[in-house]
Amino acid sequence: MRLRRASFLAFSAVFCIREAASTQTSRQVAPSPPQQPIPFSHKMHAGNLQLQCKGCHPNPDPGEMMRIAPPSTCMACHSAIKTDSPAVQKLAAFAKEDREIRWARVYEIPAYVYFSHRAHSESGNTCAECHGQVAEREQLYREGDITMGGCMNCHREKKASLDCSYCHEPR
């Protein structure tokens, strides 16, 4: 009990700092897409070519995180497609040296929040409900609302729990 209270106080401290900092910046403005190491179009791959999300985004055990497929997956096509493109040549170099591409994060929540992709998929939530119309986007930006308010709105609508301890305490 004492431990729980201590960690809750830690939250509250974070809360005050964040609130103070956020008075200067507005959260309403749609954030612009981050600069990516290689320009990648979901509109081309998931839209025009209709590749499945899970082909590039596996959800390994325990299922909390999604992954982004390594360069070798891309090379199944790009060892032959668009080999004259500088972006594809950069991709090929990563694959050849077996190096990880450090894609800039688009969606991220703090480590003290509990969230599982698998649990959300299994309860029928779609990628688009949280990430928007990905297959229509040339570049991804944070268009889905993953603030606490965004989580709460959907939980209220779908009658999922709103208890603080649902998302915050180690369970």
User: Closest by alpha carbon to 146, among 171, 127, 122?
Assistant: 127
Question: Which residues between 62 and 81 bind ligand HEC (CB under 6 A)?
Answer: 65-66, 68-69, 73-74, 76-78, 81
Output 12 or 28, the one with its CB closest to ligand HEC.
12
Amino acid symbol at 79: S
CB 22 within 8 A of CB 135: no
- What DSSP state is assigned to residue 122? H
The binder of ligand HEC chosen from 4, 7, 79, 148 (CB under 6 A): 148
The binder of ligand HEC chosen from 21, 29, 123, 170 (CB under 6 A): 123
6 token code pair: 């201590």
Size of interface with ligand HEC, in residues (CB under 6 A): 74
**What binding mask, one character per residue, do residues 7-46 give for ligand HEC by CB under 6 A, x or -?**
----xx-xx--x-----------------x-xxx-x-xxx
Establish whether the linkage from the previous residue to 58 is cis, with ω within 30° of 0.
Answer: no
Output 2 or 19, the one with its CB closest to ligand HEC.
19
CB 83 within 8 A of CB 77: no
The binder of ligand HEC chosen from 4, 93, 113, 136 (CB under 6 A): 113
Smallest gap from Cβ 141 to ligand HEC, in A, equals: 9
* CA separation for the pair 24, 74 (Å, rounded): 41
Smallest gap from Cβ 96 to ligand HEC, in A, equals: 14
* CA separation for the pair 21, 16 (Å, rounded): 9
